[in-house]
Amino acid sequence: MGLRANPVRFTLIPAVALAAGGVVLAQHFGDVNPAVGWFAGINLGTYPTWWVDKRQAKRDGFRVPEWTLHALSLLGGGVAAVLAMRTLRHKTRKKVFKLAHPALAALGVAALGWWLMR
């Protein structure tokens, strides 16, 4: 079973694992809010996922399902998604990506701010 068998296993799962790792590190250091750890980890996992999809699009290889890219933004990786869209010039023609991911990035930052202020 190669990489082509299940791209989600190589994209979504590692991104969520990084986010969970961020929470664990935040708890380990004690003075860092776990929400900050999640936000940092999910964004660190989101950008490489977009990079893999762009690279595979150029090589005509397996593609990361669009729902995975959307899910990562919904989970808090919207900032990295917007950064990837701009720097990689990926998914910039599709209206749903142009509208949804900046909105999800703003929502993620607002949710983090709310969590830290409460």
Domain extent, residue 95, equals 3-117
User: For the whole model, what pTM was predicted?
Assistant: 0.82
Q: What is the pLDDT along the chain (118 residues), one digit of tens a residue?
A: 444 556 677 787 888 888 888 889 888 887 888 888 898 999 999 999 999 889 988 998 888 888 888 889 988 999 999 999 999 988 888 888 888 888 888 888 898 888 888 8
Q: How far is CA 77 from the centre of its chain?
A: 4
At position 108, the amino acid (one-letter code) is G
Which stretches of the chain are DSSP H helices?
12-29, 34-59, 66-72, 78-88, 95-117
**Per the structure, how many domains does the chain have?**
1
Residue indicated by tokens 């990361």: 64
